Each structure stands twice: as C-alpha cells, then as structure tokens.
C-alpha cells in the first residue's frame, strides 16, 4: 500500500461530492463559473486567492492518518505507513490539501490574525471531522510556546478550536497542554528532523489532568505537515490518561514524506 500511497493523484480528490454543504458550490461549478470557495460574502478579502477550486479532502482515506486514497479500499483501510506503524494519535482528518490555493488564507490567519475566515474554517473543520466529533469530549488546540504566544499575541489553533466549539457545543481547553520546549521553526526540516525536534516538546498541565483523563480529545491545528507535532501532543495527552486523541486540521500536506527523507518543505 506504500506504493499506492505514492501514486495518489491530488487531482483525484478535488471532488466536492458527498457533502450537503457543498451542494451550492457544485451547482455553481457545473455552470462553469470560476467558483470561489468560500463564498465571497463570508470571506471578502480572499477572493483573489480562491479563484481556483480548493482541493477538499474527503473519503476514501487512511483510517489512521487521513491520507486521501484514489480508490476506496474499504472501511478501516490503512495507508502503507500506518499499517507499518500506527501514529501516536488515533485518527487524523483535514479539510483540504495544503497547497498554493489554501496557503494564503491559512498563513493570513496564522501571522496576521485575520479572523474573517474563521466561520468558514470552522464549518470545514466540522465537515472533515464529522466522524471524530460525534464521540469527542474536549477540543484541545495545539499550543504555542509562551514566548511565541507573547510575540504573536494569539494562537491560531486556539481561534480555530473556539470557532469549532461554538459550532458543535464541544468545550475547548486552551490550558491543558503546554509547549515546554521552544522549538525552532519546523520549516525546511525533514520528517525525521521534525520528529527529533518535537520530542518532549509538550506537557499536560497538572491541574488539567483530571479534566482530560479518560476523555476523547480532538487536537486542533491549522496545518499538518509530517504529523510530528500532532504525535508529540498525542503522546503527552495519552501519558496523562486521555482515552482517545484524534487530530483535526484545516489542511494537510499530501506527500508521503516518510518515503522521501530528503523532502524539505518551506511552508511553515
Ligand atoms: Zn495513514
């Protein structure tokens, strides 16, 4: 299946099918309009970025890491990597592919705190995470190191968790998990370097252990690249007694990086 994972064509997952919330978009696309997602009224400043169709992720995908498959391999099918070694988290899902189309609004949220797209982002998280949300007790945003939080003044993952919480009524806890290691930026690092970089980077705050113990958690972040951050968070939460740790991100990189250790990304 590893080979199959490599052969996935991104074009194949552009389909908008299977989601009621996309019905109007499908209709517009069919009419040949240069449809922009999300609708302009909801995301007024991003028209230029979304002139092309965004690459949504939907089933079929790896039950564990959420890597999209070109063909339906049946319920519970795993990609090559996950069948060799299951990630430290239980399931990961993402709303769309991190690419030239989705990069700008995501970076705009991350670096300038432009929150006008949050409502749409939250709807997309709810769509992509619908299987996770049904059993979830608490949303946990991936924390920034306090130093970085002071510099940036907001955590984009916390903004996403709050918006999704409003939409789903699942409570969110921004203080359960802390980043105890100020890791240098992950951009330009290979998958294995990212893993080393992230070891022991997160810790559950003692006062919150009772809150997350035996609970189903969803870790929220903007982008999943190699999954190193998500895995480090999941390990910390599980060590503290969490029953299940799922991961829900706006976007994910769709590239089998474990098969290509020289892969160097420059995106985050
Ligand atoms: Zn997988």
Cα Rg of the chain, angstroms: 18
- Asked if residues 156 and 118 have their Cβ atoms less than 8 Å apart, the reply is no
For residue 33, with 0-12 CB atoms within 10 Å meaning exposed, 13-18 middle and 19 or more buried, which class applies?
A: exposed
**Cα(201)–Cα(223) distance, rounded to whole angstroms?**
18
Q: What's the gap in Å between 253 CA and the centre of ligand 1? A: 13
The C-alpha atoms of residue 97 and residue 79 are separated, in whole angstroms, by: 17
Residue-range domain boundaries for the chain: 2-259
| CA 86 / ligand 1 centre spacing (Å) | 8
Give the pLDDT of residue 184. Answer: 65
Q: What is the pLDDT of residue 176?
A: 95
Which position has the token pair 């949300």? 133
As residues whose CB is below 5 A from the ion ligand 1, the structure lists 62, 64-65, 67, 79, 82
Of all helices (H) and strands (E), which one includes residue 96? Answer: strand 92-97
Calculate how far, in angstroms, residue 217's C-alpha sits from the geometric centre of ligand 1. 19
pLDDT of res. 198: 81
Distance 66 CA to ligand 1 centre (A): 6
How is domain 2-259 classified at the CATH fold level? Rossmann fold (3.40.50)
- Tens digits of pLDDT across the chain (268 residues): 343 333 333 222 232 233 333 333 333 333 333 233 343 333 444 444 454 568 889 899 999 999 999 999 998 999 999 999 999 999 999 999 998 888 877 887 777 766 777 888 898 999 999 999 999 999 999 999 888 888 888 899 999 999 999 999 999 999 999 999 877 666 666 777 777 778 888 999 999 999 999 999 999 999 999 899 999 999 999 999 999 999 999 999 997 544 444 333 333 3
């Amino acid at each position: 299946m590893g080979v199959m994972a490599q052969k996935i064509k991104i074009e194949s997952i552009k389909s908008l099918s299977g989601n009621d919330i996309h019905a109007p978009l499908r209709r517009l696309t069919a009419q040949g309009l240069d449809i922009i997602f999300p609708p302009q009224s909801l995301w007024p400043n991003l028209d230029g970025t979304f002139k092309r169709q965004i690459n949504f992720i939907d089933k079929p995908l790896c039950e564990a890491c959420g890597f999209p498959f070109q063909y339906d391999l049946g319920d519970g099918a795993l990609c090559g990597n996950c069948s060799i070694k299951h990630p430290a988290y239980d399931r990961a899902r993402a709303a769309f592919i991190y690419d030239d189309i989705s990069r700008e609004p995501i970076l705009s949220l991350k670096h300038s705190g432009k929150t006008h797209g949050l409502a749409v982002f939250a709807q997309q998280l709810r769509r992509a995470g619908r299987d996770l949300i049904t059993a979830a007790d608490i949303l946990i945003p991936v924390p920034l190191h306090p130093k970085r939080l002071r510099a940036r003044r907001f955590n984009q993952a916390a903004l996403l968790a709050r918006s999704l919480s409003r939409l789903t009524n699942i409570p969110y806890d921004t203080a359960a998990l802390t980043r105890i290691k100020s890791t240098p930026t992950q951009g330009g690092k290979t998958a294995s370097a990212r893993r080393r970089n992230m070891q022991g980077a997160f810790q559950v705050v003692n006062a919150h252990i009772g809150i997350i113990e035996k609970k189903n958690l969803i870790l929220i972040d903007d982008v999943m690249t190699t999954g190193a951050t998500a895995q480090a968070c999941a390990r910390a939460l599980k060590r503290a007694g969490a029953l299940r740790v799922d991961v829900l991100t706006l976007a994910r990189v769709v590239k089998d990086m474990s098969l290509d250790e020289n892969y160097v990304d420059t995106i985050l």
